[in-house]
A and B are shown apart, each in its own frame.
Chain A
Amino acid sequence: MNEPRHGGAEPDVAASPLIRMRDIRKVYDTGKIQVEALRDVALDVASGEFLAVVGPSGSGKSTLMNLIGCLDTPTAGSYELRGESVAGMNRAQLAEIRNRRIGFVFQSFNLIPQISTYENVEMPLLFGRVARRRRRERVEEVLARVGLADRMEHKPTELSGGQMQRAAIARALAMRPDILLADEPTGNLDSTSGGDIMDLFAQLWEQGHTMIVITHDTALSRRTSRRIELHDGRITSDLRNGA
């Protein structure tokens, strides 16, 4: 597990990108009609980047997120994650990759309501077969980082929206993944809580995390280091903020 290195440093894209996608195509076959959700997508993301993916509904943002997050595999094209080809992996291998390399943050939090915040955050560590003592340390550490050290025993339903999203971020950080992948993380939050989450994201980036955020939120996308825009399944612009 590599420790976060330098916050917000200049990415070295050419050397060895964390994510390397080429000629990615994703077609959903509903039986009657085929929907081409992504076409000819090429994307490199370097370690330490803070990438915003923006675009109108139906532009393929969620599909791209599912592919990056190894929740789905492309119909065609190649995807390498830290030099490892993901495209041909089976479900068990993909599960392993998700567990070790990706930390998910969802719009609707996706916490399991029946169990405590602690247990929710512990879950990926259980799947990753981390020893009990290490788990305890990690859970306490990440909950402290998101400011929920005093809410460990609360169930998600006893937390506010902002707290729930912070619990979800703690869960995403627990396995020390290569990438933090967030889908509309502020979409279900009021502006104050949303602002808190944005601050937390910026902070995590400064600590060296690689972040990819899919968002409609222009306030959030303005704070990232890079911003790509999708239209009809294609990348139509790729801008580096401050560049």
Chain B
Amino acid sequence: MSWMSSSLKQLFRDLRAQRLRTLLTTLGIVWGTVAVSLLLAFGGGFHHQLKKNSAGLGNGIVIAWPSLTSMPFEGLGKGRPIRLDEEDIRLLRQGAAELGDISSEYGETLRLQLGPKTLAVDTAGVHPVFGEMRNMIPQEGGRFINALDMLHKRRVAFLGNDLAEQLFGAGDPVGQLLRIHGSPFTIVGVLKQKNQDSSYRFRDKDMLVIPATTMQALTGQKYMDNFVFTARDVARTQEATQEVLEILAGKHRFDPRDKEALGVWDTSEMAAFFDTFMLAFRLFLGIIGALTLVVGGIGVSNIMNVVVEERTREIGIKMALGARPRGVLGQFLVETLIITAAGGAIGLAITFGLCRLFPAFGVTDYVGDPSLSPGLALGTVALLGAIGLVAGYFPARSAARLDPVVAMKM
């Protein structure tokens, strides 16, 4: 132990004697550490943001559009329209075992009046579960459409946040009245702002949501434009989709393989693709960072080789006095690890600082905020340790293998 502490004293003396070289070497490790940890932190932040943005559309939802058949089936020609109504939704709820939530969606651009203002607003008539499926979270003090609204065909409306701002400015819209398609509606909630980087019909922030039953009563629309559903288990979304297709194909007599009769967009596939893509992307970033760190490690190995060479005589003397080869090996390994640890600590601190500063740049919505997670920091430290050990091992081994008789003549 005390030999170690005297070795450490000696290490710092050596490092001081070669201040510039030590500085440059440490810088190599610092740069490598920053590269690997920052790249991975950005990768993680970017992935997180992508997930968050895609959650703007919904959590593993499937969107389905009834359309025209494109294949003849059971003697029926192609080009036949498939029309779905609430009866189909009931049927699916009962028959599809893999199905989670489901909501029909009726879309129409309707006239909205508020005092002197008149606007054409994209309006969707939906079920209460739609809010949860599509991550349409109400701002404080408001709510989404509920079951009683549906049952009683209440004239209640949920506003997109931009639409609310356009109509009411900074004022609170909840409880206010407006006219839609000539009928008075009470505003029950406003959408909490969210990032939505994809949509299939309207932008949530600009649209108006009312109960599906109210919509049908208001416009006389019998058939839905599309429906949205989730699987009971997101991993079994494909099976759920297959069930939905088969039930509807059976009822409406179309070929379940007909891609056009019922168009399907499975967003959970996209999420799965993103996950794979991001894994590959982060792996790529990690490898680039790790290579930078390896270059830093080569620098450290190099300086340790020089140190061993310059201290050959001293190592010989120590061995003559009874230093064991393993002790010499350990000494140089520890020295290398100290340089690596110092560089790594500085590097991680820089990354941590940059992660803290980054949100101030205001590009969070696009690339996310890098974050230095404990796992990431630990991984970087493990990589640093491995590189330090390898970088130190070879110079240390050559020191430990010195013949004291020869070394003392240096």
Which A residues have a C-beta under 8 Å from some C-beta of B? 66, 69, 71-72, 91-92, 95-96, 98-100, 104, 106, 110, 112, 114-115, 119, 122-124, 126-129, 132, 135, 171, 175
Q: Are A71 and B405 in touch, CB under 8 angstroms?
A: yes
Q: Are A127 and B10 in touch, CB under 8 angstroms?
A: no
Q: Identify 17 new A-B residue pairs, CB closer than 8 A, beyond the known A95-B323, A127-B318.
A: A69-B320, A72-B403, A72-B405, A95-B322, A95-B324, A96-B322, A110-B408, A112-B317, A114-B13, A124-B321, A126-B2, A126-B6, A127-B3, A127-B321, A127-B323, A127-B324, A175-B322
Is B239's beta carbon under 8 Å from chain A?
Answer: no
Measured CA separation A240–B254 after assembly (Å): 120
**Which residues of chain A are within 8 angstroms of B318 by Cβ–Cβ distance?**
123, 127
For B281-316 the 0/1 string (1 means CB < 8 A from A) is 000000000000000000000000000000001100
Is B325's beta carbon under 8 Å from chain A?
Answer: yes
**Which residues of chain B are within 8 angstroms of A91 by Cβ–Cβ distance?**
324-325
Q: Given A92-B325, A112-B314, A127-B327, check contact A71 B320 (CB 8 Å).
A: yes
Measured CA separation A51–B359 after assembly (Å): 80
Q: Are B405 and A104 in touch, CB under 8 angstroms?
A: no
Q: Given A71-B320, A71-B405, A110-B317, check contact A119 B6 (CB 8 Å).
A: yes
8 tightest CB-CB pairs across the interface, nearest first? A99-B322, A127-B322, A126-B3, A124-B321, A95-B324, A110-B317, A92-B324, A98-B322
Measured CA separation A104–B405 after assembly (Å): 12
Measured CA separation A123–B319 after assembly (Å): 11
- The total number of A-B Cβ pairs within 8 Å is 61
Measured CA separation A12–B318 after assembly (Å): 34
Measured CA separation A72–B403 after assembly (Å): 9
Shortest C-beta distance, A191 to chain B (Å), equals 26
Q: Given A66-B405, A72-B405, check contact A124 B13 (CB 8 Å).
A: no
Q: Are B322 and A128 in touch, CB under 8 angstroms?
A: yes
**Which residues of chain A are within 8 angstroms of B327 by Cβ–Cβ distance?**
127
Shortest C-beta distance, A69 to chain B (Å), equals 8
**Which residues of chain A are within 8 angstroms of B236 by Cβ–Cβ distance?**
none
Is B326's beta carbon under 8 Å from chain A?
Answer: yes
Shortest C-beta distance, B22 to chain A (Å), equals 16
Measured CA separation A112–B319 after assembly (Å): 13
**Which residues of chain A are within 8 angstroms of B322 by Cβ–Cβ distance?**
95-96, 98-100, 124, 127-128, 175
Q: Which of A98, A126, A135 has the most CB of B within 10 A?
A: A126
Is B404's beta carbon under 8 Å from chain A?
Answer: yes
Measured CA separation A174–B186 after assembly (Å): 97
Pairs A–B under 8 Å by Cβ, sample size 29: A71-B404, A71-B405, A72-B403, A91-B324, A95-B323, A95-B325, A96-B324, A98-B320, A98-B321, A98-B322, A99-B322, A104-B320, A104-B321, A110-B320, A112-B314, A112-B317, A115-B10, A123-B6, A123-B318, A123-B321, A124-B321, A126-B2, A126-B3, A126-B6, A127-B3, A127-B318, A127-B321, A128-B322, A175-B322
Q: Which of B318, B322, B324, B408 has the most CB of A within 10 A?
A: B322
Shortest C-beta distance, B49 to chain A (Å), equals 54
B interface bracket (residues with beta carbon within 8 Å of A): 20 to 34
* A106 nearest in chain B by CB position: B408
Q: Which of A96, A124, A132 has the most CB of B within 10 A?
A: A124
* B4 nearest in chain A by CB position: A126
**Which residues of chain B are within 8 angstroms of A126 by Cβ–Cβ distance?**
2-3, 6
Measured CA separation A192–B404 after assembly (Å): 31
Measured CA separation A134–B400 after assembly (Å): 28
Shortest C-beta distance, A71 to chain B (Å), equals 5
Residue among A66, A95, A114 making CB contact with B319, cutoff 8 Å: A95
**Which residues of chain A are within 8 angstroms of B404 by Cβ–Cβ distance?**
71
Shortest C-beta distance, A125 to chain B (Å), equals 9
Shortest C-beta distance, B92 to chain A (Å), equals 78
Measured CA separation A34–B66 after assembly (Å): 95
Residue among A100, A114, A122 making CB contact with B10, cutoff 8 Å: A114
**Which residues of chain A are within 8 angstroms of B313 by Cβ–Cβ distance?**
110
Shortest C-beta distance, B406 to chain A (Å), equals 10
Measured CA separation A104–B326 after assembly (Å): 21
Shortest C-beta distance, B400 to chain A (Å), equals 9
Measured CA separation A122–B225 after assembly (Å): 90
Q: Given A112-B314, A114-B10, A115-B10, check contact A171 B2 (CB 8 Å).
A: no
Measured CA separation A66–B319 after assembly (Å): 13
Measured CA separation A71–B318 after assembly (Å): 12
Measured CA separation A59–B322 after assembly (Å): 27
**Which residues of chain B are within 8 angstroms of A119 by Cβ–Cβ distance?**
6
* A109 nearest in chain B by CB position: B317
Q: Given A92-B325, A114-B10, check contact A132 B320 (CB 8 Å).
A: no
**Which residues of chain B are within 8 angstroms of A123 by Cβ–Cβ distance?**
6, 318, 321
Residue among A114, A135, A171 making CB contact with B321, cutoff 8 Å: A171
Shortest C-beta distance, A177 to chain B (Å), equals 10
Residue among B314, B321, B408 making CB contact with A99, cutoff 8 Å: B321
Measured CA separation A171–B321 after assembly (Å): 9
**Which residues of chain A are within 8 angstroms of B314 by Cβ–Cβ distance?**
112
**Which residues of chain A are within 8 angstroms of B405 by Cβ–Cβ distance?**
66, 71-72
